[in-house]
Structure 1
């Protein structure tokens, strides 16, 4: 720290280098409050600022700080049920992808095993349950009010804009919904994050999976190993071409299915792909050109994305038609599973066309750098750009035009910070000013005027 106030260490960092310092603080398990200016600077007055958002380990959206092969979960736990028959609710939200799941467990050991599988970056528990749940690793007590059943339900229904949550398949899951409400409250009110991309709840039913305890996960080297990822089951199996696929495969390994028919259908489809090597190669080539759509759209929906995220989205969506066509042509023993996948793969031709027409081929990383939109896409933008590039020429041409129109060869167009652009005519010829000239200021040796046309040009030049 460079200085301190009230024994609180403080220092300032350049705005353009803030991301690097934020990254260091997040890696040190700190939370970072971002304050933004809320009033315009005025001489003699302090500029007001307010906390706009708080960045924590579970909400960081800088892709350089994230492992694209695994989810970045915020988890919340709530102890419900009765003394004789407790029920532990778990909610997990990945703020970077929009995934929001809930599940319930009969005992704490099952819950701890699931937390080991998910490895959340933050874990919330109600303050009034710290005694019962405080033993959970890296738990963070949070406002108990947010976990109360009625409050949690209202928080969730407001988020999803529904009258009932039964449509998400979580009817009767009181403990899980309390946990979900607490997690959402923490994101929106404590961290002040935009959660519009969290659009639905999905239920992870523990009865659908083979539950692997923590010790077995470690001893079987499923996804982590003391000797490195390459010596794990995930390392052997992972031939995925996209970050979304890598995250999905990791989740499948940690949550093996119990349903034999579903497993068989999945393996039959894999077998169909392996029997068509040319088609498999084409699919892989298409997939390799698809970026991390989940996290890209997450960043864009939160307003933290940039032009390169838009370009990434464009490039990814351009591959969807070919990908869908190749998958449709795949001979498959299980047409139902293939049909389900094809139904989920959506094309967005209108959005792709808009992005293709609007974005330059290589947009800058920062929005403030400009040059994101192609010339010719927007007539209004082209005019502003022309004004920015040719502002001095516009003013010079207008001055020559006004001299010719008025016959006043000493007429000048000038600029200052008080009036902006104005027309100045010497006192001797001020009476020759046309009727459309509006007197703005009288000087000792000159009169200053403005015209609607001059103000229009000024708006374009200065606004550009």
Structure 2
């Protein structure tokens, strides 16, 4: 048996795209065959049928309509599949033999461009990672916006830094070389794939070849800056090569290859990003409940993406930070201008992604109208911005392009209400093309033209029964009876002789026939050709569109930050190069927003690199320690991204890195316990923090025994506080009250606690940070608030009283005298629960009447206690 020609064509095409589901165009459907059909049928829940293919058994087959295929493709991409689109490259009616077909595009998670498949306010990044020994090259691109970034990691703990960059960009797809798969632990790959949902695509090493990389990037702006950075170069070359293979078009919309260093921005490792919940919540990875959720009042999709980038990449340049802050202040103060700008920006579509669609070639007429509508807002935006005086606002205004030429081209060429598809006609405006207008008239007025011609010919020839008729064989013709043939003029051309007369054609009727016959098909084809010409003209100006889109996005973000500052009563921070962080009446931006009308208790914070380096915070659980820690970190981050902050006053000394260690959980997949996870995070912080960093540490050492945990926490504080080792600004929350003794031992450490009011067995959290250490933990009271059974609470109180009486783990005055730390070191005492016998001995000692005992009685009693305890 032999496969049919069409199926042979399918098999040959499929061989080239083994890792893809092949959407094979047959008429009005995309069909899938064999294993692809079985997968698609299962994943899309569509019927699986069969087709004769020349073999003994029918080939499994399923299909989807071509006009709604994007819905099905989106489902497959979301489920982790790649899709290759194989189109008919010629009209089946005109084809000789098998219709020519080619794969026109490969859609992967990182190369999706369909807006319906994307979050409009989030980039869809494709990342390429080149691994060579312990060095990494990174390249990141968003096909939908034309952004392209690259860097390399060659110093320090590069694996951790790589993971941090992956977490920051959150790519949909990761391109890796074979060495990457060998060097990166399997559990890390599982985290990337399973937890983060990243599609990992291994590429052959030839993609990462240096010479091929140089050739591939040579035509892009910024390529010269990375020629000497071998690892970044190889990663960039592989990414460009992969895009060319999958997109099959010139990538003219890629703005430039932008080289960066991770040290150019505030470094926030992946753990800290999660803990601070910058763009997604820790529990369910949603936007609501994050800093982005609070600050995002952007009116455009491109503004939303840029705001996310500002949050993820706080600045270190004080001048640039203050330029942003000045612009936000001006827009905050000029309420009417800001409100009108926001209304105009609301009418601006996603110009970045529209520009990319132009270059990729999948833009339709409605997209061009969206582009025109966006450009239509620019004159009014520029008029309003003429009243803005700050440096950043003036710079944005000066770089916005009117683009009148593009606006006018679209306005005069594209119809007001075109169809979605570009081959159905009705997309070119009347008056733009004389030929289109003629064909449209022929299509709608053809019958009247024939009737008018018939009347004219009767009058000119005097033949009263002359008729103009049509049939499928001969087309249009003039029919004259035999009795009137003598009156036929010479300009008539004989076409057919009949029994009762003759049929003729004239030059005028020929032209009319050419115009009328197939007018609908001709006008569709002509409109499509004209649309492609218009699209190419606009695509040639893509960089102008992108530059203006970028400036409008900046304006949108500044307006958003100003709007939030105005509505939420935020203040402009003072950002400087020094170390002092002084926050008055600081508030947690997210918690405050969630509370709504309920009041949020504000708190001050003061840190520097001298007298107040490490602040040790004690107090009960649920009292607000973690909220306070996070709010200080978020206020610093907001200030350095250029935002106003939730406080009555804030002075922020530049922070180069923020590290947090807040809470921990088992990582069973990689065999790590809670304590191991905690210590791994602590190690990362201590190994990578600098004197200009801000550390947020909560409950260090709680995952092991009391003595071990206390010893580790004590030692960590000493290390952080020591300026010869680290000496950076730190907030350290703990339940180890012994640590408060460090304030008297070491310079730079201060104690603070959460104020609590107790009424009998009831406690009230005042959520106020005050100087000094907490007098107790109130753990039993918190357990009661949590709903622990009363019997358990009462037993806990009894045990606590026994422990206090034995002066174990309490650290009372007597114990403090006898266990005073020497040279800053803690003398650790034995701790644990008392046995039944030990409690009996204690009770008997309490019951003794020592005043009535003789020395001999006392010695006998002491001997008795010794024997009983033995």
Shorter chain as denominator, the TM-score bin is 0.7 to 0.9
Mapped pair 1:53 → 2:108 = no
Q: Deviations over 1:441-464 (max 9, x none)?
A: 566766554443233223322233
TM-score (norm 1): 0.87
Per-residue deviation, residues 69-99 of structure 1 (Å, max 9, x unmatched) = 110111111125xx4xx53111112111111
Q: Which moved more, 1:198-207 or 1:255-264?
A: 198-207
Of the structure 1 ranges 192-201 and 415-424, higher mean CA displacement relative to structure 2 is found in: 415-424
After superposition, residues 361-380 of structure 1 pair within 5 angstroms as 361-380=416-435
Match of 1:251 in 2: 309
Cross-structure match for 1:28: 79
Distance 1:425 1:12, change over 3 A: farther
How has the CA–CA distance of structure 1 residues 423 and 181 changed in structure 2, closer, same or farther, with 3 Å as cutoff?
farther
1:234 aligns with 2:315: no
Mapped to 1, the partners of 2:168 and 2:269 lie a distance apart of 9
2:147 pairs with 1:99: yes
Among 291, 312, 318, the alignment partner of 2:370 is: 312
What SS class does the counterpart of residue 106 from structure 2 fall into? strand
For 1:189-200, what aligned pairs fall within 5 Å after superposition? 189-200=245-256
Q: Is the 8 A contact 1:102 1:176 kept in 2?
A: yes
- Once the two structures are superposed, residues 243-286 of structure 1 have per-residue CA deviations (whole angstroms, 9 ceiling, x without a partner) of 11110111111111122221122112111211211221122122
Q: Which residue of 2 aligns with 1:290?
A: 348
Q: Give the superposition deviation at 1:358.
A: 3.5
The correspondence for 1:184, drawn from 240, 243, 252, is 240
Higher alpha-carbon deviation: 344-353 or 286-295:
344-353
Which of 47, 51, 63 aligns to 1:12? It is 63
Cα gap change, 1:301/1:440 in structure 2, threshold over 3 Å: closer, same or farther?
farther
Map 1:19-418 onto structure 2 (within 5 A): 19-40=70-91, 41=93, 45-80=97-132, 83=133, 86-106=134-154, 107-127=158-178, 129-132=180-183, 136=189, 137=192, 138-158=199-219, 160=220, 165-166=223-224, 169-225=225-281, 226=283, 228-332=286-390, 335=391, 337-409=392-464, 411-417=466-472
Distance 1:218 1:385, change over 3 A: same
In 2, Cα distance between equivalents of 1:203 and 1:446: 83
Return the offset for 1:355.
Answer: 2.6
Q: Measure, in 2, the Cα distance between the counterparts of 1:140 and 1:441.
A: 68
Q: Relative to structure 1, is the Cα distance of residues 265 and 108 closer, same or farther in structure 2, using a 3 angstrom cutoff?
A: same
Structure 1 residues 195 and 428, CA, compared in 2 at 3 Å: closer, same or farther? farther
Please tell me whether the aligned partners of residues 125 and 133 of structure 1 are also in contact (alpha carbons under 8 angstroms): no
Deviation at 1:220, TM superposition (A): 0.8
Rounded to whole Å, the distance in 1 between the matches of 2:496 and 2:250 is 49
**Cα deviation digits, residues 311-358 of structure 1 (max 9, x gap):** 1111111111222232231132xx2x3343223311111222333334
8 Å contact kept, 1:78–1:175? yes
Q: 1:150 to 1:231 in 2, by over 3 A?
A: same
Q: 1:368 to 1:38 in 2, by over 3 A?
A: closer
The alpha-carbon distance between structure 1 residues 301 and 43, as it changes in their structure 2 partners (threshold 3 A), is: closer
What is the deviation of 1:42? 5.1
Question: SS of the counterpart of 2:299?
Answer: coil
TM-score, structure 2 length as denominator?
Answer: 0.48
* Matched residue count: 452
Q: 1:131 Cα deviation (Å)?
A: 2.1
User: Within 2, Cα distance between the matches of 1:219 and 1:197?
Assistant: 36
Structure 1 residues 177 and 404: CA distance shift in structure 2, 3 A: farther
CA offsets 1:16-41 (integer angstroms, 9 cap, x no match): 33222222222222222222222332
The question of whether the paired residues in 1 share the 8 Å contact of 2:365 and 2:427 is answered with: yes
Q: Confirm or deny: 8 A CA contact 1:54 1:193 kept in the other structure.
A: no
Counterpart Cα distance in 2 of 1:382 and 1:265: 54
Mapped contact 1:75–1:91 kept (Cα < 8 A): yes
State the 1:171 CA deviation.
Answer: 4.2
- Whether the aligned pair in 2 keeps the contact of 1:76 and 1:124 (CA below 8 Å) is yes
**Structure 1, 91-100 or 443-452: larger mean CA deviation:** 443-452
Partner of 1:230, secondary structure, is coil
**CA distance 1:145–1:441, shift in 2 (3 Å):** farther
Aligned CA distance change for structure 1 residues 215 and 325 (closer, same or farther; 3 Å): same
Confirm or deny that 1:452 pairs with 2:510.
no
Q: Secondary structure at the match of 1:93?
A: strand
CA distance in 2, matches of 1:443, 1:189: 63
Q: Which secondary structure does the structure 1 equivalent of 2:226 belong to?
A: coil
Find the aligned partners of 2:436 and 2:123 in 1 and give their Cα distance.
40
> For residues 47 and 172 of structure 1, do their structure 2 counterparts lie closer, same or farther at Cα, with a shift above 3 Å needed?
same
**Per-residue displacement from partner, 1:104-150 (whole Å, max 9, x unpaired)?**
22312212211111111111123465423585433211232222111
Structure 1 partner of 2:543: none
- How many angstroms does 1:422 deviate by? 3.9
Q: Quickly say closer, same or farther: Cα 1:408–1:79, change in 2 above 3 A.
A: farther
Distance 1:407 1:202 in 2: 80
Indicate the SS of the match to 1:76. strand
Q: Distance in 1 between matches of 2:153 and 2:495?
A: 76
Q: Which moved more, 1:433-442 or 1:273-282?
A: 433-442
SS at 2:176 equivalent: strand
